[in-house]
Amino acid sequence: MEQTPMAEVEFELATLHLKGKRFDQAAKAFYELVSATQRSEAWCGLGLSKLGTILDETTPDEIFYCFDKAKAAEPGKVNEIEQLVLQSVLEVAGQLYGLYTNAILAIRDANTRKTIAIIGTVVSTLFTMEAIGKNRAMASIASAGLTALNYNRYLSLHSTAEQLTTLSSRIVKIIEELKAHVQIFVEQEQDNLQTFNNTIAQYEQTVIAETKTESQRAAEQKKQEEKVQQERRIAYVGDKNSELADVSHPFHKAKEEALKCYNKQQYGKAVTLTNQALKIYGDDYELKLLKNNMLARAFRRDAVVSFVLLLFGAGIVGAVLDISKENAKYIVLIPIALSIVFTRYRHKQRSK
């Protein structure tokens, strides 16, 4: 069937409605043009008008029904239609990701509304849109769509945590459906589709980074620090392994002497030698375990010896000063306190 030429004035008025964010009026105007002309530009305008109300009553299925009709109406314009859809949906996704981020932050702190700029590049510069540029009507619709599609107003309409949670869940569902529709819809513009997918992935990473809690950030930082330490340890072990292959290395000598002292119950000297060996090579598991045993035994010995000596000294002092039996019990507390202080000090010094 021969297609009726599009009414220029009606098309311009419909486009102005779209540019002015009067989506219901734009949809009505483009629907009348679709009925009269069946031109692809009219179908695209109707799809973009519905895209503007996607957070209200419109579904992605309705939107892509219009875009599919546009391709069917004029198969020779498939490339420019796909380009228009890719750039428009990417613009919408960027807006929705930003809205989602702000909703999540607002849920956490109802008094703080941080504005996130998700899109760092003008969407039209991301794609090669030679086909759109050749069609003045299609270029006009594309420009109007990019100007009109903005969803920031929805955040002010949702103030409670429950409303914001519902909004964020709806946004996630819409984005996933739009992404799925785009993958099926695009047939020829594969390079631009790849650009679309890469940009969507960048948006998602930005959202993840912006919506992390303080505990998540702290956990990630700790994990990163542990990773760095592990890498350093592996590098260190690799460097040391070649050196430690030599049995005459100072590490082996210090370790052997430490074991001898440990077996002789010379725990203080054994700890000193162990520390020397660990300074040379700090990843010897056997030596670390041995040091812990040494410290425990040295601690017990220091406690017993210091208490006995101090108690003996207190008895002598009591006898010399002829302290009464009533006050003698207080003298006993002195060696106990001094023993605890001395033992802890010695343990701290050995643990270094």
Look at 4-8, 118-122, 268-272, 315-319 and tell me which has the smallest mean pLDDT: 118-122
| pLDDT reading at 108 higher than 70 | yes
Residue partners of 193: CB distance under 8 A and separation at least 6? 86, 182, 183, 186
Residue partners of 341: CB distance under 8 A and separation at least 6? none
Alpha helices in 186-265 (DSSP H): 190-210, 214-244, 250-263
Q: What value does the mean pLDDT of the chain take? A: 76
Mean pLDDT, rounded, for 321-338: 59
CA 209 to CA 205: how far, in whole Å?
6
Q: Is the pLDDT higher at 100 or at 145?
A: 100
Q: Which two tokens stand for residue 341?
A: 């202080």
Alpha helices in the chain (DSSP H): 8-19, 23-37, 40-51, 60-73, 78-108, 130-133, 136-148, 153-156, 161-185, 190-210, 214-244, 250-263, 267-280, 285-321, 325-351
Please report which confidence band the pLDDT of residue 333 belongs to, taking 50, 70 and 90 as the band edges: low
pTM for this one?
A: 0.58
Please report which confidence band the pLDDT of residue 119 belongs to, taking 50, 70 and 90 as the band edges: very low
What are the extents of the domains in the chain? 8-211, 246-351
What tens digit of pLDDT does each residue of 135-154 get?
Answer: 566 666 666 665 656 666 66
Q: According to the model, what pLDDT value does residue 120 have?
A: 43
Look at 162-171, 223-232, 260-269 and tell me which has the smallest mean pLDDT: 223-232
DSSP 76: G
The sign of the torsion formed by the CA atoms of 302, 308, 312, 318 equals positive
| pLDDT reading at 178 higher than 80 | yes
CA 108 to CA 114: how far, in whole Å?
11
Region label for 112, one of left (φ > 0), alpha (ψ between -120 and 50) or beta (otherwise): beta
CA 114 to CA 106: how far, in whole Å?
8
Residue partners of 307: CB distance under 8 A and separation at least 6? 335, 336, 339
Q: Is the pLDDT higher at 263 or at 192?
A: 192
What tens digit of pLDDT does each residue of 39-80 get?
Answer: 899 999 999 999 988 888 789 999 999 999 999 999 999 999
Tell the residue number behind the tokens 């964010």, with chain if given: 21
Give the side-chain half-sphere CA count within 13 A for 17: 21
